[in-house]
């Protein structure tokens, strides 16, 4: 029987690349996000993939996504929390709305979804992967709320891994640096830079001379979801070209 993977933020970037790779490897995939049309487009070449659109900052919506998946496939094997947002401001410049939005998307949604999924993973085991950031491992400038949310996500990952290890549920965080995604373009605009200039700078700042590709993060997700990673849980793995070395 095919395993079932739910991937949030699946309409673009890391989420879309991950959905594509898991589908190619034989998983039944559920692409989740806010924008129905963009999800439909992302799933258009993935035969029998299904989509779910809604606001995952709501615990009710997270419960509905899990129930939607169970109604179609009867199981949840892998949950990958890819959806994320960034507001590039100092603490002084960060508004209440910036702070609340960052925490809601980057921390609350993964918690609500994990809480909903875990009871359904206890029978046959499961994997939860949280896409955090290398700025969840170290500080970054103009990103007070983002760093706080991703640091919280890393420690939430570790705590859940300990709580559920004996239930054969593994929980890990993946910590990318800059990745060539639409969110990086938005971030560049927030910094007052055109995307081309920002890309040149980001590539130059990386020890490897380039930023990470979404497909490379997807490949790490696939490994961590596999039986080959059976002893890996409670980790926060950088994939950042050496930025945190």
- Kindly give, in sequence order, each residue whose CB lies less than 8 Å from that of residue 155, ignoring residues fewer than 6 positions away: none
- Kindly give, in sequence order, each residue whose CB lies less than 8 Å from that of residue 234, ignoring residues fewer than 6 positions away: 157, 158, 161, 162, 165, 171, 172
- 195 labelled catalytic: no
Q: Is 144 helix (H, G, I), strand (E, B) or coil?
A: helix
Q: Are 52 and 65 in contact (CB under 8 A)?
A: yes
Return the closest-CA partner of residue 130 out of 101, 100, 151. Answer: 151
Selecting among 27, 146, 195, 223, the annotated active-site residue is: 146
Torsion of the alpha carbons at 177, 179, 62 and 21, rounded to the nearest 10: -120
Annotated catalytic residues are 146
């Amino acid at each position: 029987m095919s395993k079932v993977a739910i991937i949030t933020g699946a309409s673009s970037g890391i989420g879309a690349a991950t959905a594509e790779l898991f589908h190619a490897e034989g998983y039944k995939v559920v692409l989740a996000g806010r924008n129905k049309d963009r999800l439909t487009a992302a799933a258009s070449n993935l035969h029998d993939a299904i989509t779910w659109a809604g606001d995952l900052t709501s615990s009710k919506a997270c419960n509905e996504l899990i129930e939607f998946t169970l109604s179609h496939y009867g199981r949840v094997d892998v949950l990958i929390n890819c959806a994320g947002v960034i507001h590039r401001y100092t603490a002084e410049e960060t508004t209440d709305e910036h702070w609340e939005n960052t925490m809601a998307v980057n921390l609350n949604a993964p918690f609500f979804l994990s809480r909903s999924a875990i009871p359904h993973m206890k029978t046959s085991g499961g994997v939860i992967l949280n896409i955090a950031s290398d700025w969840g491992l170290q500080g970054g400038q103009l990103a007070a709320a983002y760093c706080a949310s991703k640091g919280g996500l890393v420690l939430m990952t570790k705590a859940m891994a300990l709580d559920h290890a004996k239930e054969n549920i593994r929980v890990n965080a993946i910590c990318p640096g800059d990745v060539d995604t639409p969110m990086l373009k938005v971030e560049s605009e927030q910094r007052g830079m055109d995307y081309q200039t920002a890309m040149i700078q980001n590539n130059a700042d990386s020890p490897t001379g380039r930023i990470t590709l979404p497909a490379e993060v997807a490949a790490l997700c696939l490994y961590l979801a596999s039986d080959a990673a059976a002893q890996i849980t409670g980790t926060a793995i950088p994939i950042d070209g050496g930025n945190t070395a």
